């Protein structure tokens, strides 16, 4: 390959000062270097500032146009070129992608396929699953930030990435790892669902599902995964917590029932509205009333401050470990407030 | 065949395990004496997975547009992954200051084992003869390219609504000796030199606007379309009538044409409100030609 490519034209040294000015004009703020020996699961969210989705995603097509000697490449990708001269992170990604594409094209169709067989997620180290979930969530965040900045709508893509993260996390059997994988899920999901989703009602009570830890225990009670399969479905439940208050989601056949105790005295005798902010991300639950953000309780809070109400129907089974994990992710946040 | 790019896009759950195994094998192969350091293997595997996610491939389904990666044959896609893992492995080896001769040895082994390995001189430069090899060379190429200079000119001229900011930038052009560009802009806008207070503040505001303008697709599309529109000859009464479909050629989609036209309409260079044709008066054609041309 020649050093000079014809689409570049002839760089004129007389423009050196203008070029330098452009570089200073378009320079992205430098990022602090990552500490060496930091594991991948601790750095997956660290690219928030230096990742520019609009430009990064153009890199394969840009590199392909260069490799094809497309004469229009400078014109067509002008905004990207202006970006690359000021963004070292994207420029470095460009070099990598160009080189890998070059190698891919040079290999033609003659390369042998790798002999790695088919593998199941159960055999994948949990840290790689945690890493993927974190990446998908941080990708969703980057897409949303860009959309807000450019006044475009990419909410569906962000929601799809979050959905994918929840589904992948269901295969992580260690509770602490699962918690780590979905650390930023609620925050990004609220962003994805617009400003109204993030509004906090002063009267609302927020619960979150308690994660079963690595040994399968939940605050002293041991719930071994193998045991879960042998126990009647109604004996397996998701524990919810809001400060000192406890609650649970139990399953009766296809029905998911919310059980809460110790509710505010002023709520007694009143119906409540249940909101499951992540409920609209996954389809497997058919929410009572159709809207997971406003599920009206079937009965009022009783005189002891307790409530038992169905909230939806599902084909998932709490007794199945992966289904359990998926429902646990969905109930990472559950809000309650008195109905009008 | 274990998995394809399409599988990773549409069926990630079923194929992620195989992707990890494949990348792990590649990483161990290229990491040489670091092959048994799990941390280093993770760095390589994680890097490629991150890249595929950031490129909008992993698990994106139909929600992101297809790219060149989706158009590679399965064998080419493996070659892409292999090369990506290898480049990251070399990067890790360099960080550990693996002796140069060992690195070169590793490369030679790789070349013998892999077919059609085009890596030239890894020790000297991993990136060889890639166009735009550094941000500095990219900047010089951009500053010397007619279309990209026109884009810069348009963006500077769009500062005319804020005369002090425009003046601050023109002063910078003068200071750096970009007389030709300065001369054209001054002629077109009829700018006169006036005392400028708080120049640094005006410059900062101007820079922010320029950064936005230069990296906007709509600005670039407008400049591209201005050139295409100015090429059409009038048909009757001095008016030129151009169909949008005709403008959408040479890798420009109809959506992009419409985006560019909207931008030109906003700038008052033509009058277009979503119709399937564009009508240009002689005066508008003249303004569009001037919009594109850098001048002599």
HEC string of A47-110?
Answer: CCCCCCHHHHCCHHHHHHHHHCCCCCHHHHCHHHHHHHCCCHHHHHHHHHHHHHHHHHHHHCCC
- Point out the residue among B43, B95, B151 whose CB comes nearest to the CB of A78: B151
Burial B76-94 (b: 16+ CB within 10 A, else e): bbbbbbbbbbbbbbbebbe
Q: Give the C-alpha separation, B120 to A102, whole Å.
A: 12
The reported pLDDT for the residue numbered A169 is 95
For A28, the token pair is 């992205």
Percentage of chain A exceeding pLDDT 90: 54
Interface of B with A in 172-191 (CB under 8 A): 172-173, 176-178, 181
Q: Please judge whether A113 and B75 are an interchain contact, meaning their C-beta atoms are less than 8 angstroms apart.
A: yes
Residues 6+ apart with CB under 8 A from A340: none
Is pLDDT at A164 greater than 90 in this prediction? yes
CB within 8 Å: A2 and B78: no
pLDDT of A222 reads 44
Select the more confidently predicted residue: B214 or B102.
Answer: B214
> What percentage of chain A reaches a pLDDT higher than 70?
83
Query: Is residue A229 scored above 70 in pLDDT?
Result: no
pLDDT at A2 over 50: no
Q: What are the tens digits of pLDDT across the range B41-99?
A: 999 999 999 999 999 999 999 999 999 999 999 999 999 999 999 999 999 998 887 66
Give the pLDDT confidence score for residue B239 in this predicted structure: 83
Q: Give the separation between CA A248 and CA A212, rounded to whole angstroms.
A: 13
B215 touching chain A per CB within 8 A: yes
Q: Which of B128, B140, B227 to mutate to test the interface with A (most CBs of A within 10 A)?
A: B140
Q: Taking the alpha carbons of B237, B243, B246, B249 in that order, is the dihedral positive or negative? A: positive
Structure-model confidence comparison of residues B115 and A168, the more confident one? A168
Kindly determine whether residue B72 and residue A104, on different chains, have CB atoms separated by under 8 Å. Answer: yes
Distance CA B68, CA A60 (A): 6
Going by pLDDT thresholds of 50, 70 and 90, the confidence category of residue A3 is very low
Bridge partners (DSSP) of residue A239 are: A248
What is residue A179's predicted lDDT score, i.e. its pLDDT? 92
Rounded average pLDDT over A266-284: 90
Most confident of A118-122, B122-126, B215-219: B215-219
Q: Which residue has better confidence, B233 or A86? A: A86
Q: Could you say which of A103, A112, A117 has the minimum Cβ distance to residue B83?
A: A103
Tokens 């009829």 correspond to what residue? B190
Name the B residues in 254-283 with CB < 8 Å from any A CB.
none
- Could you give the CA distance from residue B69 to residue A105 in angstroms, rounded to a whole number? 11
Q: Residue B281, SS3?
A: coil
Residue A282 distance to chain B (closest CA, Å) = 15
Asked if A248 contacts A259 with a C-beta cutoff of 8 angstroms, the reply is yes
Residue A249 has pLDDT above 90, yes or no: yes
From chain A, the residues in CB contact with B220 under 8 A are 75, 78-79
Per-residue pLDDT, averaged over A185-200, amounts to 75
The answer for residues whose C-beta is within 8 angstroms of residue B281's C-beta and 6 or more apart is: B238, B239
Domain boundaries, chain A: 15-32+40-107, 200-340
Residue B125: pLDDT band with limits 50, 70, 90: very low
Chain A to chain B Cβ contacts (< 8 Å): 286
Residue B230 to residue B284: CA distance in whole angstroms: 9
Asked if B139 and B131 touch (Cβ cutoff 8 Å), the reply is: no
What is the pLDDT, as a whole number, of residue B98? 67
The end-to-end CA distance of chain A, in Å, is 72
> What would the mean pLDDT of B265-289 be, rounded to a whole number?
87
How much is the pLDDT for A57?
95
Q: Supply the pLDDT for residue A19.
A: 92
Pick from A4, A85, A106, A161 the residue to mutate for testing the B interface (most B CBs within 10 Å): A85
Check residues A47 and B30 and name the one with the higher pLDDT: B30
Q: Which two tokens stand for residue A42?
A: 């601790």
Task: Note the pLDDT of residue B187.
Answer: 80
Chain B partners of A19 at a C-beta cutoff of 8 Å? 136, 139-140, 142-144
Contact (CB<8Å) B118/A26: no
Residues 6+ apart with CB under 8 A from A250: A234, A237, A256, A257, A259, A318
Nearest to A12 by CA among B295, B177, B182: B177
Rounded CA separation A159/A311 (Å): 22
Can you tell me which residue has the tokens 């269901």? A170
Angle, alpha carbons B35-B37-B38 (nearest 5°): 105
Q: Where are the alpha helices (H) located in B31-177, listed in sequence order?
A: 38-54, 68-71, 74-95, 100-113, 135-144, 146-157, 163-176
Mean pLDDT over A97-118 rounds to 82
B208, B162 contact by CB (below 8 A): no
Chain A environment of B172 (Cβ under 8 Å): 21
Task: Look at A81-95, A111-125, A285-299, B144-158 and tell me which has the smallest mean pLDDT.
Answer: A111-125
pLDDT higher than 90, residue A67 = yes
Cβ within 8 Å of residue A324, ≥6 positions away: A212, A228, A236, A238, A317, A318
Q: By CB neighbour count within 10 A (0-12 exposed, 13-18 middle, 19+ buried), where does A161 fall?
A: buried
pLDDT at A219 over 80: no
Assess whether pLDDT exceeds 50 at residue B164.
yes
φ and ψ at residue A52, rounded to 5 degrees: -120, 90
Nearest chain A Cα to B79, which residue?
A104
- Is the model's pLDDT at A33 over the cut of 60? yes
Of residues A78 and A42, the one with the higher pLDDT is A78
CA angle, corner B174, sides to B169 and B175, nearest 5? 95
pLDDT score, position A101: 95
What's residue B54's pLDDT? 95
DSSP E strands, chain A: 205-209, 217-218, 221-222, 237-242, 245-252, 255-260, 272-275, 285-287, 295-296, 307-314, 334-338
Determine the pLDDT at residue B1.
Answer: 62
CB contact under 8 A, A109 and B16: no
Minimum mean pLDDT among A244-253, B7-16, B243-252: which range? Answer: B243-252
Let me know: does B288 contact B270? Beta carbons within 8 Å.
Answer: yes
A9 near B144, Cβ under 8 Å?
yes
A167 pLDDT higher than 90: yes
CB atoms A91 and B138 under 8 Å: yes
Q: How far apart are CA A130 and CA B105, in angstroms?
A: 35
The count of other CB atoms within 10 Å of the CB of residue B143 is: 25
Partners of A15 in the β-ladder: none
Distance between CA atoms of A1 and B83, rounded to whole angstroms? 18
CA distance A57 to A76: 15
Average confidence score pLDDT of chain A: 84
| Nearest-CA distance B269 → chain A (Å) | 21
The whole-number average pLDDT for the span B251-270 is: 86
For B:94-153, CB contacts with A below 8 A are: 95, 115-119, 126-148, 151-152
Looking at residue A118, what is its pLDDT?
73
The pLDDT tens digits of the residues spanning A310-320 come to 999 999 999 99
* pLDDT surpasses 90 at A274: yes
Model pLDDT for residues B177-221, shown as the tens digit of each residue: 888 888 888 887 777 767 777 778 888 999 999 999 999 888 888
- Separation CA A169–CA A278 (nearest Å): 14
């Amino acid at each position: 390959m020649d050093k000079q490519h014809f689409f570049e034209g002839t760089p004129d040294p007389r423009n050196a000062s203008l070029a330098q000015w452009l570089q200073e004009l378009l320079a992205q703020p430098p990022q602090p270097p990552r500490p060496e020996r930091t594991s991948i699961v601790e750095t997956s969210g660290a690219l928030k500032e230096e990742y520019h989705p609009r430009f990064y995603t153009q890199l394969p097509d840009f590199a392909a146009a260069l490799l094809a000697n497309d004469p229009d490449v400078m014109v067509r990708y002008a905004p990207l070129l202006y970006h690359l001269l000021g963004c070292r992170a994207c420029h470095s990604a460009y070099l990598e992608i160009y080189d890998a594409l070059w190698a891919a094209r040079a290999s033609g169709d003659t390369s042998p396929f790798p002999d790695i067989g088919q593998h199941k997620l159960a055999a994948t180290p949990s840290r790689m699953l945690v890493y993927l979930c974190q990446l998908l969530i941080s990708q969703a965040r980057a897409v949303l930030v860009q959309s807000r900045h450019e006044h475009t709508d990419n909410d569906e893509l962000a929601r799809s990435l979050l959905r994918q993260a929840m589904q992948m996390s269901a295969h992580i059997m260690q509770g602490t790892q699962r918690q780590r994988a979905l650390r930023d899920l609620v925050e990004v999901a609220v962003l994805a669902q617009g400003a109204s989703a993030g509004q906090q009602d002063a009267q609302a009570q927020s619960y979150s599902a308690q994660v079963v830890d690595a040994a399968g225990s939940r605050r002293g009670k041991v719930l071994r995964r193998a045991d879960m399969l042998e126990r009647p479905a109604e004996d397996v439940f998701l524990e919810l917590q809001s400060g000192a208050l406890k609650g649970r989601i139990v399953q009766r056949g296809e029905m998911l029932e919310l059980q809460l105790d110790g509710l505010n005295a002023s709520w007694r005798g009143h119906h409540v509205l249940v909101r499951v902010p992540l409920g609209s991300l996954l389809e497997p639950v058919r929410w009572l009333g159709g809207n997971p953000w406003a599920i009206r309780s079937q009965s009022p809070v009783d005189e002891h401050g307790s409530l038992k109400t169905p909230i939806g129907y599902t084909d998932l089974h709490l007794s199945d470990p992966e289904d359990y994990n998926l429902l646990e992710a969905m109930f990472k946040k559950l809000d309650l407030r008195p109905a009008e | 065949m274990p998995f394809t790019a399409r599988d990773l896009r549409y069926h990630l759950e079923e194929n992620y395990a195989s992707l990890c195994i494949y990348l792990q094998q590649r990483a161990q192969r290229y990491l040489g004496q670091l092959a048994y350091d799990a941390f280093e293997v993770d760095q390589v595997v994680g890097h490629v997975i991150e890249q595929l996610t950031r490129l909008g491939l992993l698990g994106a389904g139909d929600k992101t547009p297809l790219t060149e990666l989706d158009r590679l044959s399965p064998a080419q896609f493996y070659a892409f992954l292999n090369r990506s893992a290898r480049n990251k492995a070399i990067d890790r080896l360099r960080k550990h200051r693996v002796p140069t001769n060992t690195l070169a040895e590793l490369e030679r082994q790789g070349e013998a084992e892999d077919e059609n390995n085009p890596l030239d001189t890894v020790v000297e430069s991993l990136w060889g003869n890639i166009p735009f090899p550094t941000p500095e060379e990219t900047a010089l190429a951009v500053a010397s390219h007619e279309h990209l200079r026109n884009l810069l000119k348009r963006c500077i001229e769009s500062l005319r609504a804020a005369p002090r900011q425009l003046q601050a930038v023109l002063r910078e052009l003068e200071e750096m000796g970009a007389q030709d560009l300065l001369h054209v802009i001054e002629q077109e806008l009829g700018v006169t030199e006036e005392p400028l207070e708080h120049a640094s503040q005006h410059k900062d505001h101007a820079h922010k606007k320029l950064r936005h303008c230069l990296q906007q697709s709509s600005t670039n599309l407008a400049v591209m379309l201005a050139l295409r529109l100015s090429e059409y000859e009038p048909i009757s009464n001095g008016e030129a009538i151009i169909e949008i479909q005709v403008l959408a050629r040479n890798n420009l989609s109809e959506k992009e044409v419409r985006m560019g036209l909207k931008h030109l309409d906003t700038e008052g260079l033509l009058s277009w409100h979503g119709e399937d044709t564009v009508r240009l008066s002689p005066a508008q054609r003249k303004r569009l030609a001037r919009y594109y041309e850098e001048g002599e």
